[in-house]
């Protein structure tokens, strides 16, 4: 069983520019990947630099609150579970395998 972690902002939640403001919408393609790991019975985690409560609110919005564990992104010390795969928009070495999700505002997802 693998430990997989997904970031929220600019990863599971796309930030899209609309005229003079920004909005966030779920990345439905990446949500299929999340659901695949859940169905595979892997341990799926969510985190965000916005904090645990913010990540919990997105887990509820995405309908996966009871299927994932929400942890703090800044807690990378001894109490942090060792992750096998991390999906994130930053280039931090967060897991054995790091998948960077790159976006252009208003242009939708680009994975590199």
Domain ranges of the chain: 3-111
**Dist CA 64 CA 19 (whole Å):** 31
* Residue predicted with more confidence, 40 or 94: 40
Helix (H, G, I), strand (E, B) or coil at 63: coil
pTM: 0.84
Pick the CATH number of 3-111 from 3.30.565.10, 3.40.50.1000, 3.10.20.740, 3.50.50.60: 3.40.50.1000
Position 79 scores a pLDDT of 45
Is there a contact between 52 and 60 (Cβ–Cβ < 8 Å)? Answer: no
**What is the overall mean pLDDT for the chain?**
85
Residues 76-99, mean pLDDT to the nearest whole number: 78
Is residue 78's pLDDT more than 60?
A: no
């Amino acid at each position: 069983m693998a430990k997989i972690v997904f970031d929220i902002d600019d990863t599971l939640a796309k930030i899209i520019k609309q005229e003079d403001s920004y909005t966030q919408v779920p990345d439905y393609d990446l949500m299929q990947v999340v659901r695949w790991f859940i169905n595979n019975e892997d341990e799926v985690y969510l985190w965000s630099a916005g904090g645990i409560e913010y990540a919990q609110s997105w887990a509820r919005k995405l309908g996966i609150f009871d299927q994932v564990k929400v942890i703090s992104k800044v807690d990378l010390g001894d109490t942090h579970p060792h992750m096998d795969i991390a999906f994130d928009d930053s280039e931090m070495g967060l897991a054995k395998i790091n998948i960077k999700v790159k976006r252009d505002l208003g242009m939708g997802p680009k994975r590199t």
